[in-house]
Structure 1
């Protein structure tokens, strides 16, 4: 994600990635505070770019369970009044994860209206503890969410969808 190489193709600078990881590491502060900190550290114009980095960290399983909870909450809060461009990541994770903590938390995020979300007042550690003994989570039908998403968000061009993520500097890549 961070690259100091000649190609300059990085999603976040090393400093920004450090800041992001520091924000997501705080498991003893309410998730609402974590989301607020994210919005303070990253200017509004950089929210999408930083949120993409959170998605990569989530998709590549590079975060602890508590950090994953914080990451999903931040992504939810950033787009609480809009169609969330990261909804496919939420749905895919919900379908594939074997972690009941993650599954239960994602069901809460996806099925509760933003105004009724009590997760903002909980810490990531409290969410993990809340779902620690859960052995089964009922996942609602997600077709309606997929349908709303597919009709409101423009499709990603096919070539952009298959690009390699700019995670590691390629020393053999030609300079721009």
Structure 2
């Protein structure tokens, strides 16, 4: 279920900030195919993309984030949004922003946001773009580029009613056995604040490779209770 080193190199090459910023969204699908990924690879690619989105020190560019979100939609665009295995990511990202809640880490007597380890909140431009995607994108939207979307300063933004999608996902989850609904990822962000700019590209590449490649890659592992 994990990626090979070559596949990861191809994916990261596709997601390069400088390369992706001015590429039209409609060109992403054929570009991904040229990078060597076919339909049978989509779940592995999307799983890797989600992990990169969860850790802002691994996917640092805004254009990269937008491209990553588009890939999660595009790889399953021929199915209803509720059937997309990554639809819960969309509902999480489009939740209304609220005040940050905190929990206390007693060992160091520090406070951390309860959202640590989750995908960082979206900007208004990103939320509007994602809303339009899962509502059914227009041809005009797909001809735009990540740079165009992020440069939009309009005060009018598209909103998507999540209620129907959330209901479909709850119904779908209720049909799963308890063992399939329990568990958390083995990869969790370091909650301590640090300067992302201090991370070298070499060290970032090494971390990404250790998380996403190999037969026993951490990204495909999870922690779950034992059921007797």
Shorter-chain TM range is: 0.7 to 0.9
**1:101 offset after TM fit, Å?**
2.1
Asked if residue 32 in structure 1 is aligned to residue 26 in structure 2, the reply is yes
**1:139 offset after TM fit, Å?**
3.5
More helix by share: 1
Q: Is the 8 A contact 2:23 2:146 kept in 1?
A: yes
Of residues 70-79 and 92-101 in structure 1, the stretch that sits farther from structure 2 once superposed is: 92-101
* Compared CA separation, residues 22 and 151, structure 1 to 2 (3 A): same
Using the size of structure 2 for normalisation, the TM-score is 0.59
Q: Is the 8 A contact 2:125 2:150 kept in 1?
A: yes
* Compared CA separation, residues 137 and 121, structure 1 to 2 (3 A): closer
* Compared CA separation, residues 117 and 151, structure 1 to 2 (3 A): farther
For structure 1, list consecutive stretches of 5 or more residues without a partner in the other structure: 1-9, 170-176
Question: Aligned pair count?
Answer: 155
1:4 aligns with none
Asked if residue 89 in structure 1 is aligned to residue 89 in structure 2, the reply is yes
Asked if residue 11 in structure 1 is aligned to residue 2 in structure 2, the reply is yes
* Aligned-residue CA RMSD (Å): 2.7
Quote the Cα distance in structure 1 between the aligned partners of 2:21 and 2:185.
33
1:60 aligns with 55
Of residues 80-89 and 93-102 in structure 1, the stretch that sits farther from structure 2 once superposed is: 93-102
Asked if residue 103 in structure 1 is aligned to residue 99 in structure 2, the reply is no
1:123 aligns with 145
Which one of the candidate residues 157, 167, 171 is aligned to 2:211?
Answer: 167
Quote the Cα distance in structure 2 between the aligned partners of 1:90 and 1:60.
16
Q: Is the 8 A contact 2:132 2:158 kept in 1?
A: no
Quote the Cα distance in structure 1 between the aligned partners of 2:122 and 2:151.
16
Task: Give 1 or 2 for the bigger CA radius of gyration.
Answer: 2
* Compared CA separation, residues 81 and 152, structure 1 to 2 (3 A): farther
Asked if residue 141 in structure 1 is aligned to residue 161 in structure 2, the reply is yes
Of residues 121-130 and 136-145 in structure 1, the stretch that sits farther from structure 2 once superposed is: 136-145
Using the size of structure 1 for normalisation, the TM-score is 0.74
**1:42 offset after TM fit, Å?**
0.9
Q: Is the 8 A contact 1:30 1:124 kept in 2?
A: yes
Quote the Cα distance in structure 1 between the aligned partners of 2:73 and 2:139.
11
